[in-house]
Structure 1
């Protein structure tokens, strides 16, 4: 398939697809899925139902929704999908979450590096991966640089941008750290999407849903809910039922007139006091996530007793309007629209990591300082090395009483047969079967 045909058809393979927030956004941007892979069966069922509907409405071939571990080649083989326009996904967030331990490469759920290697096998025209804001922190600068350098080796120009959902018409903060990589042919045409001028409030977004059952207090409630929401927290199967986040987030929700200690089955009725503090329904949470308006219809039909599972699907999603905005920017680049003046991929995230990698042997702080042009003090270089040691083997050797450092292997899972992830995942899978 030649480049012109690929850019016209705009096909997509999506990994760790969840319940379809990114899927819908990419569909609205013009991409058509050939495959989506998701581990959670409830999310995969929602995804399959909706992607099937979209394909049927357009007379297109229904995409395959594969259920299982994305790194298991019995579930899918990246090599079978060579030449797709876009590889996209929302790889697991816990390895980088500020609320967690930020174990990065040491967390068996980390699939970022694996996704980069999958890109190398598939050679798509573009790659889109999203994650939490924590990945943007200094702690992961070396990790980010390793990702960029590996993409460069594979023939791509890549970089990250922190985007907030509120800047794209979503009534929620929800910062997401987005990586976009494009083949050299298309990278100069890529520009990050610009924020929309209007910011939507919680009250404006939810008034009709809150008033749907005749609650007399809905209008006053909507006026009080005059800001964007804090970030929705989807949670995991390991932690209780649905609620709207940690204590600080619940306080913010309370100030908006929302009880964040759970999810309601329905909006307040006509007999509910006007000063009642309501909980959100799953339909309301979906709207807070950006499933709102024509084209954004999505079926989260709850099965009996599965309200919590539905909430997790919605709460863990990538807001469709953000995915649409980034998808449109990628599609424009793949069609080579506009001028080819972009500098995508020109930045650097960790010059200390790069200096260690380029030297390849033991190097002292003095040599590193000189290599960096004297821009960093020894204490800052040591701090950066300490961060790097979380994700990479760093060997330290004394020479004349002076420590020298050599960068070793990246601990991240990239598909290695002897990686600890295999055993950890097997144990988790066994536990899930037992439970």
Structure 2
């Protein structure tokens, strides 16, 4: 099978790129401005060309390979409503969206994929940026579609809704269909994490898993300027508490044989998840490693695009481009 080629912007820990790789795409360049994320990418895929740079400063003419790609992909920092975030923060995120579209002017890929918050699809606050994107893509000869996917529908044990834009050159667009769910029954937190919870000999692992019957709430990576690693805001922590999990912190290791699970007694009686377990909840394969200390690792995971969703999107784009199908991913092999 001949791989299709792509450039990945704001690549982070590589969730989007990994899923696209599993769909038969080969990256020619991955860009991210955080050194720890670049370390993660190089660690797992030494053959990938990784550039540590800010998207707003990126000059594609210095990288001629970017002009011969089938797909430009971007899992951009989550845009926020001006009603819930500082104006400067909102404008910075929107500038990255604009920069991605402007880069499509230069690169002229056959397809463009942008993944972000679900509100970007239809929330009134984001109508101006949607209007900008529509105008630019119309001018470039792309047709496009906005839609929302939930990672839980693709075998990821997490309720994680993603807003997606897929644009294709006119001649390919009519063949595009958004990916359909790949699972009928959602994978629960208990099912996903029981093997790792039992690794240390924890005697209550069975009892805990038996009551953790839902998917996880959305993992939140948080801001670089805010505290240590936790699993999200107050509402998210309450959802974790209902499963007997302390969402206020991230553990250094799985529970041992002497840990007594007694969630009715408060946080000290609840189990905590590790960064490796957070990666499982995000759909990463077990051999994908994350660089940095605990908080940096968790933030990379929390901000990532789940690879199974990215694979489904890649397969849908691949089909529209008329390429043959990709093989199923091997989640057990090394890089």
Structure 1 length-normalised TM = 0.69
Structure 1 CA distance, aligned partners of 2:260 and 2:61? 53
1:162 corresponding residue in structure 2: 148
| 1:84–1:125 contact (8 Å) kept in structure 2 | yes
Q: Pick from 123, 129, 143: which aligns with 1:143?
A: 129
2:5 corresponding residue in structure 1: 11
| 1:160–1:179 contact (8 Å) kept in structure 2 | yes
Q: CA deviation at 1:94?
A: 3.9
The reply on whether 1:37 has 2:31 as its aligned counterpart is yes
Shift of the 90–76 alpha-carbon distance from structure 1 to 2, 3 Å rule, reads: farther
Q: Pick from 284, 288, 291: which aligns with 2:281?
A: 288
SS at match of 1:264: coil
Structure 2 CA distance, aligned partners of 1:78 and 1:96? 34
Q: Pick from 298, 303, 309: which aligns with 1:311?
A: 298
| 2:31–2:50 contact (8 Å) kept in structure 1 | yes
Structure 2 CA distance, aligned partners of 1:102 and 1:74? 27
User: After alignment, is 7-16 or 213-222 more displaced?
Assistant: 7-16
| 2:71–2:113 contact (8 Å) kept in structure 1 | yes
- By relative contact order (CA 8 Å, sep 6+), the higher-ranking structure is 2
The reply on whether 1:91 has 2:68 as its aligned counterpart is no
Q: CA deviation at 1:211?
A: 0.8
| 1:186–1:336 contact (8 Å) kept in structure 2 | no
| 1:92–1:110 contact (8 Å) kept in structure 2 | no
Deviations 1:143-172 (A, max 9, x none): 213212211110111121111111111111
Aligned length: 317
1:3 corresponding residue in structure 2: none
Structure 2 CA distance, aligned partners of 1:254 and 1:124? 45
Deviations 1:287-306 (A, max 9, x none): 000114xxx63112x55xx1
| 1:15–1:37 contact (8 Å) kept in structure 2 | yes
Query: Gaps spanning 5+ residues in structure 1: where?
Result: 1-6, 53-61, 339-435
Q: RMSD over aligned Cα, in angstroms?
A: 2.2
Shift of the 133–258 alpha-carbon distance from structure 1 to 2, 3 Å rule, reads: same
Shift of the 257–226 alpha-carbon distance from structure 1 to 2, 3 Å rule, reads: same
SS at match of 1:180: strand
Shift of the 299–104 alpha-carbon distance from structure 1 to 2, 3 Å rule, reads: closer
The reply on whether 1:297 has 2:287 as its aligned counterpart is yes
Structure 1 CA distance, aligned partners of 2:224 and 2:60? 22
Q: Pick from 93, 96, 100: which aligns with 1:111?
A: 96
1:179 corresponding residue in structure 2: 165
Shift of the 152–337 alpha-carbon distance from structure 1 to 2, 3 Å rule, reads: farther
Q: CA deviation at 1:139?
A: 1.4
| 1:96–1:104 contact (8 Å) kept in structure 2 | no
The reply on whether 1:46 has 2:36 as its aligned counterpart is no
Shift of the 66–51 alpha-carbon distance from structure 1 to 2, 3 Å rule, reads: same
1:384 corresponding residue in structure 2: none
| 1:201–1:227 contact (8 Å) kept in structure 2 | yes
| 1:11–1:85 contact (8 Å) kept in structure 2 | yes
Structure 2 length-normalised TM = 0.88
Structure 2 CA distance, aligned partners of 1:75 and 1:266? 43
- Superposition map of 1:56-67 within 5 A: 62-67=47-52
Shift of the 101–159 alpha-carbon distance from structure 1 to 2, 3 Å rule, reads: farther
The reply on whether 1:26 has 2:20 as its aligned counterpart is yes
The reply on whether 1:228 has 2:208 as its aligned counterpart is no
Structure 1 CA distance, aligned partners of 2:31 and 2:139? 26
The structure number with the bigger radius of gyration is 1
1:128 corresponding residue in structure 2: 113
The reply on whether 1:269 has 2:256 as its aligned counterpart is yes
Q: CA deviation at 1:8?
A: 4.4
Structure 2 CA distance, aligned partners of 1:71 and 1:318? 21
